[in-house]
Structure 1
Amino acid sequence: MGERYLKSIRLLAECMQGFERLSSERARQSGLTHPQFDIIATLGNTPGMSYKELGEKTLITKGTLTGVIERLEQKGLVERQRNDCDKRSFFVRLTADGEATFNAAFPKMMEMGRNLFTDYREEDLAALEKNLSKLKTVIMAGHPGCPSTPDPTKENI
């Protein structure tokens, strides 16, 4: 195999960068940065969640998450409440304006994604998901501190 895997990694990285560029443009059209959209999309159709849950469900690092939530709060799109059980943590939920932003922006982002995969058949998507899940499992197994086998209680995405 030699260094053939480098071509695959490069293509994977280029796909991710291209997708982020397109989705960032779409988010900006809604008046949001890409991380802000990620938070709005994650909180949409939920009663809200803790910072910890948001960190687990988004690709935003813990250090960045606080700043993004603060800016969304300044825009009036989210509100934070201290957790009654743990005064050190916050619960975050969308405000009415946040819900309106979600309802306007999320369908447009989904449409963009659907358009990217127009030429993919169901079998193509299944094969892509299978291969990416396999790669994720291998990568996670080789990373210190990560489980070597997938957690069956978590979705493999």
Structure 2
Amino acid sequence: MNRYDEVLVALRRIIRATDMHSRQLSKVSGLTAPQLLILQLLRQHGELTVGEIAHGVNLSQATVTTIIDRLAKRDLVRRERGSSDKRKVFVHLTEAADAVLADAPKPLQDSFIQQFQDLHDWEQTMILSSLERVAYMMDAQHIDASPVLDVGQLDRTDQNH
């Protein structure tokens, strides 16, 4: 096999691993990876504004608003106006979200992050540099992306893609 074929196979494995984990997450919890990350962030902080959530998960405020709308329809989050500043709206978890989070598998990026952080600095830099070059070679450097390992639209309604 040519080296470029080996690289393409490795990329395909990464894409397939992400897709398989995404499907498993959806099947087990009924959530997308971005939805799970938002719920986990809210569990850590108690209450956050949409802007704070967007910053915390590295997604646009518009995308987070759409995801929050979908989570609210499923009664997993609720919005409340701030008590001291009525202009601020905070997002809170519901009891239903606590139950979903208890059974949800860990996001794929959690295990990746742990293993990546265990690498030496030079290894991390080499991987980052190589992947940035691959993204450039695939003309993907201009694509807006967040550090959420998931496939499909981040604010999709269809849980099965």
Q: TM-score range by the shorter chain?
A: 0.5 to 0.7
Show the counterpart of 2:133. Answer: none
Report the CA distance shift for 1:123/1:113 in structure 2 as closer, same or farther (over 3 A).
closer
Inter-CA distance 54–88: structure 2 relative to 1 (3 Å threshold): same
Q: Counterpart amino acid of 1:49?
A: L
Stretches of structure 2 lacking an aligned partner (at least 5 in a row): 1-6, 131-161
Which whole-Å CA distance do the structure 2 matches of 1:131 and 1:79 have between them?
43
Paired position in structure 1 for 2:82? 83
One-letter code of the match for 2:106?
M
Q: Contact 1:50/1:91 (CA < 8 Å) preserved in 2?
A: yes
Structure 2 match to 1:50: 49
Q: Distance in 2 between matches of 1:83 and 1:62?
A: 19
After superposition, give the CA deviation of every residue in 1:16-42 in whole Å (9 maximum; x if it has no partner): 755642442232121112321221122
Greater relative CO (CA pairs within 8 A, separation 6+)? 2
Distance (Å, rounded) in 1 between the aligned partners of 2:13 and 2:85: 40
After superposition, where does 1:87-126 map in structure 2 within 5 Å? 87-105=86-104, 108-109=105-106, 114=111, 123-124=118-119
Instruction: Calculate the TM-score normalised by the size of structure 2.
Output: 0.57
Name the Cα RMSD after superposition.
4.3
1:147 aligned residue: none
1:73-102 deviation line (CA, Å, top 9, x unaligned): 111111111123443331111111101111
* Correspondence 1:22-41 to 2 at 5 A: 22-29=20-27, 30-41=29-40
Structure-1-length-normalised TM-score: 0.58
The alignment covers a number of residue pairs equal to 130
